[in-house]
Structure 1
Amino acid sequence: MIVHTAEVVRYVTAPAVTFEPLRDGASRGLLDHYLATLAVATGPVGLTRMIASTADMTARLLDFAPDALRRIGADAIIADSAEPSGPIIAQHLGVPYVISVTGLPLLEEENVPPPFVGWRYRSDRLGRFRNRGGYRVSHFLMRPIASTLHRRRLTWGIKDADQPLAYVAQCPRILDYDRQNLPPNFHYGSPWRNSPAPLLDPPNGDKPLIFCSLGSLQGARKKLFAIMAKACAEIGARAVIGHGGGLTPEEEASLPGNPLVRAFWPQETLLRLCSAAVLHGGFNTVLDALAAKVPIVAVPIAFEQPGTAARLAHFRVARVISPQRLSVATLVKALEEVVHDPTYRDMASRLSVAMEAGGGASGAAVIVDAALSKLP
């Protein structure tokens, strides 16, 4: 059962999953306002607003989630690593918990750059010095969230953080940097997916297909999609654009290069037909592309996307272009490289094979069940 603010129910589509809303008196549009804030989380102003808005959401969960969990009689909690209220709520209720890691591992380690930066991995003294500085900046920026958590710990009389029974991650081990201090109960894995949706009307034609996506939060960036569509056309390919509802029909029709455009595609299935993908570095879409053995051009915009893109470049499965440097010319060059240099597709194939052995959602469920079964 999923517990969250009422409007989250629209994302709970699996028949076997139930939903319990917070009784928080939230006005309609609260979630949309929060997502709109996340969509512009770039630059000092956008980042500050995003952190403040996230702190407000964390406070709302701390205020109202305990009662919701009591109502449903929760015996344990699976809390996502991106929402720090989960462990505190579990401690307050006295129930065990597991951390789900749907993106990059967020565990701090001086050999590993912070997940929100695109720094090249280096484990020497200079690299560790730079990483320590990055984590200090991160702690400074995240003070509104840390203060919210600290105040609630004091209110609830929670002195020391306890440890989860397990960490279960979508991230394959092969896609992360070399870590030295992972908790012994941390488990890498592979994407948590249902059976892929069918592609009822596969694209026709003899041109190679290139999937282009900026996820559901950044899908309104028409200028970036126009560059992608034109660059694909210039190399003799056809862009297949998924904008997540960010573009109007008029904007869809105005894109150059005769792309195929929809709000959403069954991307796991579609990617198997593609020669390459141009992505913002969102973790789920990256995993789907790699599972389909598709090389990537990454255009990271916000959140952990630069860190994901840096890993893709490190393992030679992607070329990375910053949004500020993205142009038709730079994208044409990057696409020609990932399409024609077999190194990229070979590495994508290697990652795909590793992910197939990762266990997926069923493997994660087995880990969670085993952790809970050890309780007295």
Structure 2
Amino acid sequence: MLDHSGGLAPPASADFLRFHERPPASNGPRLPDWGDPAAPLVYVTFGSVTGSLPSFAGVFRQALDALAEVDARVLMTVGRKVDPDALGPLPFNAHVKQWWPQDAVLRRAAAMLGHGGFGTTMGALAAGVRQVVVPLFTSDQVVNGDHVAAVGAGLTVERGPTSVQLAAAECPAC
């Protein structure tokens, strides 16, 4: 899927083939009701580990604040180690859950803001969802973000939690 992503870019006239996996017959669980149902859905996830790392605790609130004024519905998952109520009052357009089936969200998402973890990145690629990658804490997240940008499936920003607001500002559906 990401072959030749580190090589030279194809000429502008080249046709790109996009892989998009057909969703199963069931659309999965119904998303909760919040915000404007006609607005595009932005899925925000920093994986299941980020919430257990104290130095990254603020990334969830930073992303919520950065996306608070956009014309989109934001569904954020924070993992089992974070209590969504601990994030404080949520913007009108946001809904936070510890966990939600990623494939069910990505079927409906217009864009995803994530950390570049393998499962998150590949899930968005398989669903055909544009993504903004903000690598947080491992080198594979940087590599995945670089590959996503190189193949035109989204973009990546500089590594680290201080880039979360920049990543949210670059969100393609926002």
Give TM class, smaller chain. 0.7 to 0.9
Q: What is the one-letter code of the residue matched to 2:43?
A: F
CA–CA separation in structure 1 for the residues paired with 2:3 and 2:173: 22
Structure 1 segment 321-340 matched on structure 2, within 5 A: 321=157, 322-326=159-163, 328=165, 330-335=166-171, 338-339=172-173
Are residue 301 (structure 1) and residue 136 (structure 2) matched? yes
Query: 2:49 aligned to 217, 241, 256, which one?
Result: 217
CA–CA separation in structure 2 for the residues paired with 1:339 and 1:175: 27
CA shift, 1:332, in A, is 4.4
Change (3 A) 1:175 1:207: farther
Which residue matches 1:228?
63
Per-residue displacement from partner, 1:236-272 (whole Å, max 9, x unpaired)? 22221111113124314x1542421111111111112
Which residue matches 1:317?
153
CA–CA separation in structure 2 for the residues paired with 1:291 and 1:323: 25
> Structure 1 stretches of 5 or more lacking a match?
1-171, 179-189, 341-376
Larger Rg: 1
> Structure 2 stretches of 5 or more lacking a match?
8-18
CA shift, 1:317, in A, is 1.8
Structure 1 segment 239-254 matched on structure 2, within 5 A: 239-252=74-87, 254=88
Query: 1:200 aligned to 13, 24, 30, which one?
Result: 30
Per-residue displacement from partner, 1:46-100 (whole Å, max 9, x unpaired)? xxxxxxxxxxxxxxxxxxxxxxxxxxxxxxxxxxxxxxxxxxxxxxxxxxxxxxx
CA shift, 1:201, in A, is 4.0
Q: Is the 8 A contact 2:66 2:169 kept in 1?
A: no
- Which structure is higher in RCO with an 8 Å CA cutoff and minimum separation 6? 2
Q: Could you say which structure has the higher helix fraction? A: 1
Q: What is the one-letter code of the residue matched to 1:257?
A: P
Change (3 A) 1:295 1:314: same
Structure 1 segment 79-90 matched on structure 2, within 5 A: none
Change (3 A) 1:339 1:302: same
CA shift, 1:306, in A, is 0.8
Per-residue displacement from partner, 1:348-370 (whole Å, max 9, x unpaired)? xxxxxxxxxxxxxxxxxxxxxxx
CA shift, 1:173, in A, is 5.0
Query: 1:262 aligned to 68, 88, 97, which one?
Result: 97
Per-residue displacement from partner, 1:314-353 (whole Å, max 9, x unpaired)? 122222223254253x234311xx238xxxxxxxxxxxxx
Change (3 A) 1:313 1:339: same
Aligned sequence identity (%): 24
TM-score normalised per structure 1: 0.36
Change (3 A) 1:283 1:332: closer
Secondary structure of the equivalent of 1:287? helix
Which residue matches 1:22?
none
